[in-house]
Amino acid sequence: MSSIKEYFSQVGQGLKSLATGMAVTGKEFVTPKVTEQYPENRATLDISDRFRAELTLKYDAEGRHKCIGCGICQMNCPNGTIQLTTKMVELPDGKKKRKLDKYMYDLGSCTFCMLCVTTCPQDALEFTNDFEQAVFTRDKLVKQLNYRPEVPDAPAPPKPATENNDNK
């Protein structure tokens, strides 16, 4: 007698589960669809502030970054996306200090876990939400993040030549 009771109880639970699933499907069937017209709507595209797309160094107004080359971000990266190269420089007072030489970041193997940003003691890293990173070769996904000069008197990158239209 109990086996018949169990059978009909399980059939009832199955029908209830089926009705719940069909209700969810029915709601989605009548919900209006929204289609993004990308790339035509780039100017009005709303990207969440929390979206993580590319790691960058933060720079101040003078063009210097805060990274001290401690390597904590490199150690905490779960898959070796970050490679730091440092050099020892001698200060005017005779002391030696470690300086960041190259900060290499492989966007193609980044998992966007944000461990590097949260563990940086200098708050020198951040993720931008620039999501358009499509390239034809994986080599172009490896980027050097410290591309600006560290000191203000270092030579700036060359500016593009402009035509001089003074003599008419």
21 pLDDT band (50/70/90 cuts)?
Answer: very high
- pLDDT attached to residue 47: 84
Beta 54-57 vs 142-144: how paired, if at all? unpaired
Higher pLDDT, residue 160 or 30: 30
- Single-letter residue type at 122: Q
Residue 119 has pLDDT above 50, yes or no: yes
Residue 58 has pLDDT above 70, yes or no: yes
Name the pTM for this structure. Answer: 0.63
1 pLDDT band (50/70/90 cuts)?
Answer: low
Residue 36 has pLDDT above 70, yes or no: yes
Half-sphere exposure of 89 (CA within 13 A, CB side): 10
Computed on alpha carbons and rounded to an integer, the radius of gyration of the chain in Å comes to: 28
CATH class of 48-144: alpha beta
- Burial 2-38, CB ≥16 within 10 A → b, else e: eeeeeeeeeeeeeeeeeeeeeeeeeeeeeeeeeeeee
Q: Encode pLDDT of 131-166 as tens digits.
A: 888 899 999 999 999 876 554 444 444 444 444 444
- pLDDT attached to residue 33: 86
- pLDDT attached to residue 127: 92
